[in-house]
Structure 1
Amino acid sequence: MLRHLDIRDMLIIDRLELAFQPGLNVLTGETGAGKSILLDSLGFVLGWRGRAELVRQGADQGEVIAEFDLPEHHAAWDVLREAGFVFDDSLILRRVNTRDGRKTAWINDRRVSGEILRAVSETLVELHGQHDDRGLLNPRGHRMLLDDFGGLGAKIDRTRKTWRALSQARKALKEAEARIAALKEEEDFLRHAVAELDTLAPQAGEDASLDQQRRRMQAAEKIGDDISKAYQALGLQGAEGMMGDAARWLSDAAGQADGTLEEAVAALDRAMAELSEAQSGVEAAMDALAFNPLELEHIEERLFAIRGLARKHEVLPDDLGTFAEELRTRLTALDQGASDLAELQAAVAKAEVDYAQAAATLTEARKKAAAKLDRAMSKELAPLKMDRAVFATDVTAGDAGPEGVDQVAFTVATNPGAPAGPIGKIASGGELSRFLLALKVCLTGTESGLTLIFDEIDRGVGGATADAVGRRLSQLAGQGQVLVVTHSPQVAALGDHHWRVEKRQTKDSTLSTVVGLTDEARVDEIARMISGDRITEEARAAAKSLIVA
């Protein structure tokens, strides 16, 4: 609910503070007094598009502050929470317009963008009038209004869920088709490469092992002759034979040498033992270096084959096994592609059926809600002297989407037999006002927390029709807060709170102000609306009778 409106230096308003109340708030005044300026100022602080030049002549800047009292679960809190606000029970909007056209807005002292300001304002205030393109006359919102009227939230949620499932299934199928198409383009390569790798079957670490064996065999070719000569030199034909002869000769002479050869014989024995150990080592080396030249050829062929495949596929030799497994996986995906596509196609078909069923259920519910709304509108239009007019909610086929396959449009025919058309194009000014009011009465039961503003919605009607308009405005106000700008005494008489917009002119300036009316002043204002500038006792009596009624 709008509690306070503070306007400074806007158009012909220098300083104005208003404290609005729950119920029906009526603003009256002579034509040109500034009622539209008041709404322009409110629209400015709410971020609505309006006049370009708003700052009062001679002032550096204009400013508007609007304070709202909102319930705990009001939709505005959701918008602010998403924008990262921390807030309390009240909501204060402030917007400044400088002389050079710069506009700056704050919500609860935090500077905000125009986008956030408008998103919040849409949950706070709704304007209705002959140029109402933000609310009921906007065909893009008709489906949402019908859904709210019919209480179709659960069915919409179900349709959204099936739409998401269908979108995901279609996406999965499309991605799988793209993958398989790409695999088909490289099928020949995959099959040839996998066969080649499977035939070679390279193992991790094999490259280093083969290289080591190859190097050892190549080294054996170079040192084999020297080792063989050394082995011959250490054998019976060499050192071993000569040392054996020396040992035998010394042993024979030792008995006659009085012990002088004992140390020499002992040293020779030790040398014979070391020689034997050297011979064993050389023999072991000869065994280790022994190889079959055909084996070296085989090792080199395999080593070169592994390295050749690694270069071909631009991977390390040790990664060939992993690479082969990746290729096998892609080839398996290709071979299983038909089966996988069949499963995904079945999933899409099932999701399409689920969505079609949910959308059809929602369409049927919308058509029932449309018929119910049309009946409610028929009842509302009769007291507004539009019993011959026909209001129809058209539910037609549209593009499929998360909220079903329907397009919804409010249409009217003002006379029997006349063609129906969009509500904003068929109805005249006065008729349009009454259509909008009747529609708002029918729809308001599904809404909460909005301050409703009606700008001269009673234009072009009078008498019993104006009284019917006023009573419906009063009915709407009973569920919250309504502000109505009116020239109708019948409507003004039904207000819970009454303000008069006045224009004061001096030699140098023209200013507009708003005055709250006492009971007596209210009678005079309604009498003025009845009789004109000259207020008669008969007009006062008529005003009192309207207020009492």
Structure 2
Amino acid sequence: MLRSLHIRDFVIVEQTELQFDAGFSVFTGETGAGKSILIDALALTLGARGDSTAIREGADKADISALFDVPPSLRDMLAELELDDDELVLRRVIDRAGKSKAFINGVPGTLNQLKTIGSYLLDIHGQHAHQKLLERQEQRILLDTHGQHDDLLTPVQLHWKDWQQAQQKLERARNNQRDAQAERERLEWQLNELTRLAPGEGEWETINADYNRLANASALLEGAAGALALLDGEDASAIAALNAAIHRIEPLLRNDPGLQEVYDAMESARIAAAEAASDLGSYLDKADLDPARLAETEERMGAMFSAARKFRLEPEGLYERLQELTKAVEALDSESDLAALEHTAARHEALYREAAARLTQARKRTAGTLSREVTKALQTLAMKGSKFEISVQSSEPGATGMDHVQFNVAAHAGSEPRPLAKVASGGELARISLALSVMANRAHQVPTLIYDEVDTGIGGAVAEVVGKLLRDLGKHHQVLCVTHLPQVAACAHHHFEVQKKQGKHETVSRIDLLDDPARTEEIARMLGGLKITETTRKHAREMLTHAD
């Protein structure tokens, strides 16, 4: 739950630090004192959008921190972020340039991380939440949230995406079938040309080397033979000369060891010459004039040159072009295989409809339960005889399923339930919204619930019922509520007063936790306005006593 909230330089709050306990807490104060500012500040720590207008006049930045106990549902996520701890501090800083920084336990984080973490910590029911009930999408979301349908909704969304993509691919193939046929014929002609040629990988480099060798075979043989004769011929040769020189130097080594390096150099030269002569001999043994092979190579080169000109590329690129054409034709065949594409689309549609049917069943079960619970709650909220009903009807398939969810209400006994927008007044809508919120939150594990003036449009005995409803909810959750009704405030376990103070140069807001005497005074003010009498004080004390 929320343990503390520290606010510095936010709107008209210079600095305040509030400590919170379990149970039901209310915030009261005169209109414009800044009660809802607390909710706005807390929302920023949970990833809400903010800008420089939130900074108090004269300050450089707004700085807000919220300390929470870590609920069990959040521990695995924090462990993945290496933030596993018993306490969680969410901080948000906004400067004059509009730049925002977020921190999680002192570690920089993102707004998406704050929003995700915040969804496990608290739920804010804003002043205008009841207006959203008129939106069809919000009605579906509320039903799915209450029924915890995420595990059923996610597969529906995934299968819908797969089905739509498969359907689009099928439609493209159908629409482009004529163009695809012309493209296939063009590609197949090119592919057949290159398949007949069958260029190998690296073949052009190899055939060029073969041609150079075969075309110059005569010169190669003549040159190699001449070189061999000079190295190791019958007449004067390099090897014979080296042998003679070595024999001349060898006996001299006994008299002058300084000639050893000369001797070694000549010996190395003799060995190298002998090895070169041996290699030339081997080359000449294997080499021969092969006019047929030369003609064959020239023909192959001509064919590759011709194909390269036809395809407007270099001969060495023929092999790569063959691979590209092969893949292009295969891809075109795959895309134009209407039977296969139809089968794929049908398979994804079947998976979608199966998942959507399971979601529909769950929605209908949840709708029945929630309808009964809200109807029961409305009997205590000055809507005796009313009936709340959630209708789940079939609709066209979509990303969220095949259901049309509609909230209906019969405001009076015996009347037929009709859509909220057609029959519910503003006050009735607010009460229905409150009943839905209370029923939904009883079933969920979010530890902290915040209600921002949800008692708008009600009063008298109904206000007392709302207060008791929130107090009862406070037995299982931490409940924070901004209210202007003394009946609601009297039911709280803890009472904060928000006051606006006018200084010499600025207006600031301060928040105080009230003790019993101060609380009596505040509720008396809410009852009697500017003039507080002993009668209103007595009434306030009676309300507090009755709430306990």
Contact 1:453 1:483 in 2 (8 A): yes
Among 469, 477, 485, the residue aligned to 1:472: 469
Instruction: Identify the residue that residue 535 of structure 1 maps to in structure 2.
Output: 534
Quote how far apart the aligned CAs of 1:346 are.
1.7
Corresponding residue of 1:309: 307
CA distance in 1, matches of 2:479, 2:33: 21
**Structure 1 residue aligned with 2:254:** none
Partner residue, 1:147: 144
- Measure, in 2, the Cα distance between the counterparts of 1:166 and 1:198: 38
Q: C-alpha distance in 1, partners of 2:39/2:370?
A: 30
Tell me how far apart the structure 1 counterparts of residues 32 and 183 of structure 2 sit (CA, whole Å). 79
Deviation at 1:26? Answer: 1.9
Counterpart secondary structure, 1:448: coil
Q: 1:144 to 1:335 in 2, by over 3 A?
A: closer
1:435 Cα deviation from its structure 2 partner: 1.4
Residue 404 (structure 1) shift: 1.7
| Counterpart residue number, 1:374 | 371
Partner Cα separation in structure 1 for residue 13 and residue 520 of structure 2: 26
Distance (whole Å) between structure 1 residues aligned to residue 61 and residue 298 of structure 2: 90
State whether residues 378 and 387 of structure 1, in contact with CA within 8 Å, keep that contact through their aligned partners in structure 2.
Answer: no
Contact 2:9–2:15 under 8 Å retained in 1: yes
Q: Give 2:6's aligned amino acid.
A: D
8 A Cα contact 2:123 2:449, kept in partner: yes
Verify: 1:106 aligned to 2:105, yes or no: no
Give the C-alpha shift of residue 471 in structure 1: 2.1
Distance 1:297 1:54 in 2: 87
Determine the C-alpha separation between the residues in 1 that align with 2:316 and 2:190. 17
Report the structure number with the largest CA radius of gyration.
1
Does the 8 Å CA contact 1:149/1:443 hold for their aligned counterparts? yes
- What is the CA distance between 1:344 and its match in structure 2? 3.2
Question: Normalising by structure 1, what TM-score?
Answer: 0.69
Find the counterpart in structure 2 of residue 486 from structure 1. 483
Question: Does residue 457 in structure 1 map to residue 448 in structure 2?
Answer: no
Asked whether the equivalents of residues 160 and 402 of structure 1 are also in contact (C-alpha less than 8 Å), the reply is yes
Q: Offset at 1:97?
A: 5.1
Letter matched to residue 29 of structure 2: G
Question: Given that residues 206 and 318 in structure 1 are in contact (C-alpha distance below 8 angstroms), is that contact kept between their aligned partners in structure 2?
Answer: no
Give me the whole-angstrom Cα distance separating, in 2, the residues matched to 1:393 and 1:46. Answer: 31
The separation in 2 between residues aligned to 1:297 and 1:13, in whole angstroms, is 96
Higher mean displacement: 28-37 or 356-365: 28-37
Deviations, residues 510-549 of structure 1 (Å, cap 9, x unaligned): 554333233454445445544551133742552354133x
Query: Is the contact made by 2:122 and 2:450 (CA closer than 8 Å) also made in structure 1?
Result: yes
* Partner SS for 1:353: helix
Are residues 475 and 534 of structure 1, via their aligned partners in 2, closer, same or farther at CA, if it must alter by over 3 Å? same
Residue 331 to residue 21, structure 1, CA distance change in 2 (3 Å): closer
Report if aligned partners of 2:5, 2:17 keep a CA contact under 8 Å in 1.
yes
Aligned counterpart for 2:405 among listed residues 405, 408, 411: 408
TM-score normalised to structure 2 length = 0.69
Closer, same or farther in 2 for the Cα pair 1:135/1:391, shift >3 Å? same
* Aligned-residue offset at 1:376: 1.9
* Percent of paired sites with the same residue: 38
1:16-27 map, 5 Å? 16-27=16-27
State the Cα deviation string for residues 344-367 of structure 1 (Å, max 9, x = none): 322322222232232233224323
Alignment of 1:415-430 (within 5 A): 420-422=418-420, 427-430=424-427
Residues 73 and 120 in structure 2, CA contact (< 8 A), matched pair in contact too: no
Post-superposition shift, 1:405? 2.9
Q: Deviations over 1:285-320 (max 9, x none)?
A: 9xx76979xx99888656534432343345676886
Closer, same or farther in 2 for the Cα pair 1:200/1:367, shift >3 Å?
closer
2:370 and 2:308 mapped to 1: Cα distance?
75
Aligned-partner residue type, residue 149 of structure 1: H
**Unmatched 5+ residue regions in structure 2?**
222-284
Residue 35 of structure 1: aligned partner: 35
Cα offset, 1:342, TM superposition: 1.8
The correspondence of residues 282-293 of structure 1 with structure 2, limited to 5 A, is none
Distance 2:198 2:16 in 1: 90
Return the alpha-carbon distance in structure 1 between the equivalents of residues 500 and 188 of structure 2: 91
User: What's the counterpart of residue 236 of structure 1?
Assistant: none
> By how many angstroms is 1:37 displaced?
3.8
Q: Deviations over 1:133-166 (max 9, x none)?
A: 8976765443232123234344334434533553
Q: Is the 8 A contact 1:430 1:461 kept in 2?
A: yes
Q: Which amino acid aligns with 1:448?
A: Q
Answer yes or no: is 1:498 the counterpart of 2:495: yes
Hey, what does 1:448 align to over in structure 2?
Answer: 445
1:360 lines up with 2:368 in the alignment: no
Alpha-carbon separation, structure 2, partners of 1:336 and 1:63: 58
SS across alignment from 1:3:
strand
- Tell me if structure 2 keeps the 8 A contact 1:22–1:481: yes
Deviations 1:250-287 (A, max 9, x none): xxxxxxxxxxxxxxxxxxxxxxxxxxxxxxxxxxx9xx
Q: Distance in 2 between matches of 1:405 and 1:289?
A: 82
How many angstroms apart in 2 are the aligned matches of 1:191 and 1:509?
Answer: 81
Matches within 5 A, 1:333-344: 340-344=337-341
Name the stretch that deviates more: 173-182 or 35-44.
173-182
Say which SS state the counterpart of residue 383 (structure 1) adopts.
Answer: coil
Q: CA RMSD in A?
A: 4.7
Q: Any conservation in 1 of the 2:126–2:452 contact (CA below 8 Å)?
A: yes
